[in-house]
Structure 1
Amino acid sequence: MAVMPTPDYVLRLREHIGHDPLVLIGVTAVILRETSDGTLVLVGRRADNGALAPITGIVDPGEQPAVAAAREALEEAGVQIEVERLAWVHQLPRRTHVNGDQVDYLDLTFRCRWMAGEPVPSDGELTEVLWRRVDDLDDLASDDLRERIRLAVTGTGEAAFQKS
């Protein structure tokens, strides 16, 4: 099983805090493409656990979140996108990685439109990239990922968020 690369700045922080919880800002790029068959969403099979998920990643220091979403789409799947709007802001449950590192991810889910490029696994984080109909996502890794896609597809234009 492949291990996802850890950014250098996170590794430097870990030298000081060990495995203690670290808050990171994550982005989910829900990349949509309109076809004669309906709306398609780009998903990829993760190299580390084999799960099917939309394009995700973390924001680099000083980087705008929407820019991070576009960067991740190009790095992971080789596609150019337009980030249209923020769809959902939510805190994910604390995750403990296999090496013991604890992370609290604040996820910013963006509705994105495919612009160019045929999707291919580009940087080793995904083993497969494919277009799926938005009503054919039962095998996604979690209900949370399905909810990210649902809110990006059907949202009203205002970002969803929890108030408590």
Structure 2
Amino acid sequence: MPTPDFVLRLRERIGTDPLPLVGVTAVVFRDEKVLVGRRADNGRLQCISGIVDPGEQPADTAVRECLEEAGVTVRAERLALVQTVPRVTYANGDQVDFLDLVFRCSWISGDPHPADGELTEVGFRGLEELGDLDKDHVRRIALALAEDDPARFEGGLPV
């Protein structure tokens, strides 16, 4: 799914000014492999991600995005990381400040495929097969790997 309708309605009011949004990253494991996809818009290889809809639980967003983008059903198991990412400026000038919630997820069913056009390729890869993966996503995978670790929170230092 392209830009959510609620974001388009906000953009009508604020133009390209910075918009704070909550996003999720789903780090999905199946056996010893992780689900990654190549984005259609910029060609980058990364984990499945998306924007939380108003009123939606973030863990539900992670599950929904995996089904919409990759055609797989997953279970969100735990929160692995809470962070802000550097401001994103899109080609049309829109600016977004994302709060990213990274979830460790487990695969339940489905064969991964580019389901909605946001990805040009998607599949499970071994950890040694992630050579061109975006470095920030390598970190997200590393933090999601440990099954029982508490979530990591960025920031929180006194000002």
For residues 113-139 of structure 1, the C-alpha deviation after alignment (integer angstroms, 9 at most, x for no partner) is: 000000011000001111111233221
Structure 1 residues 136 and 154, CA, compared in 2 at 3 Å: closer, same or farther?
farther
Do the aligned residues in 2 keep the contact of 1:80 with 1:114 (CA within 8 Å)?
A: yes
**How many Å apart are 1:75 and its aligned residue?**
0.2
TM-score, length-scaled by structure 2: 0.94
Query: Which ranges of structure 2 fall in alignment gaps of 5 or more residues?
Result: none
Between the aligned partners of 2:137 and 2:60, the Cα distance in structure 1 is: 21
Deviations for 1:85-138, whole angstroms, at most 9, x for unmatched residues? 000000000111100001000000000000000001100000111111123322
Q: Structure 1 residue 145 and structure 2 residue 137: aligned?
A: yes
Give distance in 1, aligned partners of 2:76 and 2:149: 13
1:90 to 83, 86, 103: 83
Give the distance between the partners of 1:112 and 1:5, measured in 2 at CA: 23
Which residues of 2 match residues 1-164 of structure 1 at below 5 A? 5-34=2-31, 39-141=32-134, 143-154=135-146, 156-162=148-154, 163-164=156-157
- AA matched with 1:147: R
Q: Tell me the amino acid that sits aligned with residue 76 of structure 1.
A: E
Deviation at 1:156, TM superposition (A): 3.9
> How many angstroms apart in 2 are the aligned matches of 1:134 and 1:152?
13
Asked if the contact 1:85/1:157 (under 8 Å) is kept, the reply is no
Q: Is the 8 A contact 1:25 1:107 kept in 2?
A: yes
Offset of 1:84 from its aligned partner?
0.4
Aligned CA RMSD, in angstroms, stands at: 1.2
Structure 1: tracts of 5 or more residues without a match: none
The number of residues matched between the two structures is 156
Specify the SS of the correspondent of 1:150. Answer: helix
Q: Secondary structure at the match of 2:80?
A: strand
Matched residues in 2 for 1:7 and 1:133: separation?
32
Give the conservation status (yes or no) of the 8 Å contact 1:87–1:155.
no
Q: Give the distance between the partners of 1:131 and 1:149, measured in 2 at CA.
A: 13
How many percent identity over aligned positions?
A: 62
